[in-house]
Amino acid sequence: MRISKSTISLFLLPAVALYLCIFLYPTVRALLMSFFEIPNIASRMSEWKFIGFENYWQLLHNTYFIGSSWNVFKIWLFGGIVVLFFAFLFAAILASGVRGKSFWRSLVYLPNIVSPVVLTVVWLHYIFNSTYGFLTKTFRFLGLNGLADLQWTSDDHLFLSMLIAYCFGSIGYFMLLLNAGMERIPHDYYEAALLEGAGPLTKFFSITLPLLQDVFRMALVLWTITAINFFVWSATFGQESPETMTPGYYMYIKVFGSSTTVYQEDSFNVGAGATVGVIITVSILVLSAVINLFFRRKERLEY
């Protein structure tokens, strides 16, 4: 029985209306706010002062915002390389038929079910701690005193420490995504390649990667959204340090203020905070469009 378009539209109407109220309205309002100077998040529209593109101009010449943008770019690029590499590696190992696959898959995914705040505390106090941290104890045991004396939470190494911890907590999700795609590839292809004398690397680059293109594209888009919206780790790991500042946390400071004197001059401008939000949204849309353009969808290769 064919369902008419009017019936489909009727069932879609509640979802569309909910979407417009919850997502579209705040988005349009944030875009509007970015053209005003707003002293308080509870300020009425009559208290808004129109300043045009001044918020955008000031942000593009703001040292802290430029630094935070550079930080999030490094998270997206270098963190993406590390996360997707290990996600591919673990997914390929699990798809190869290793014993205890369910156990290993759950173990790799385990950090994703733990709160980022909890992971931050664990890494800062039990792994990076210079007195009794896991890395310090391990390097001491191996006789690598130079690495054991490394101050992971100093300004020189704080960003690297945060990136390592964040990558550790992100691999499992993308591993699960890629592994699900690999499990859907017919084994007949691999058997035929084996009969032709193809090795593991040949099968991976000639069969797995091409047939996993759509899944990999989706993983890249999801990583882009996650990386550019980087907030919790920056807020709890660096405690407003410029080395770990990201646009998402900088937007929070602009809206709700800061207790650090370095950022007090930039605080309490809700309009500028909305401007940061608009820039984040546009950046995600542009990068996602580029990824979708580079990895064009091919239905015949989807598994």
Rounded CA-CA distance 283/288 in Å is 8
**Confidence band (pLDDT; 50, 70, 90) for 143?**
confident
Query: pTM of the full predicted structure?
Result: 0.83
| Spatial separation of the C-alpha atoms in residues 54 and 93, rounded to whole Å | 52
Domain 63-301 has CATH 3.40.50.300: no
Q: Which two tokens stand for residue 146?
A: 């130079």
Which has more pLDDT, 53 or 155?
A: 53
CA-based radius of gyration for the chain: 24
Nearest to 127 by CA among 156, 170, 159, 165: 165
Q: Which pLDDT does position 299 carry in this prediction?
A: 55
Alpha helices in the chain (DSSP H): 5-19, 25-33, 54-60, 63-74, 80-95, 101-109, 116-122, 134-141, 145-148, 158-168, 171-183, 187-195, 200-203, 209-211, 213-228, 232-237, 247-256, 261-264, 270-294
The arithmetic mean of pLDDT across residues 21-47, rounded, is 83
Q: What is the pLDDT of residue 72?
A: 93
* Rounded Cα–Cα distance for residues 231 and 116 (Å): 10
CB 212 within 8 A of CB 178: yes
Q: Output the average pLDDT for the chain.
A: 83
Structure-token pair, residue 153: 């939470």
Q: Give CA–CA dist 152/159, Å, rounded.
A: 9
Grade residue 233 by pLDDT with cuts at 50, 70 and 90: confident
What are the residue boundaries of the structural domains of the chain, listed by start?
63-301
**What pLDDT score does 261 carry?**
47
Task: Using alpha carbons, list the distances in angstroms from residue 149 to 90, 155, 164, 298.
Answer: 31, 15, 18, 51
Which region among 6-20, 131-145, 167-181, 287-301 has the lowest average model confidence (pLDDT)? 287-301
Residues 6+ apart with CB under 8 A from 232: 116, 117, 120
The count of other CB atoms within 10 Å of the CB of residue 140 is 13
| pLDDT band for position 78 (cuts 50, 70, 90) | very high
Closest CA to 225 of 75, 22, 65: 75
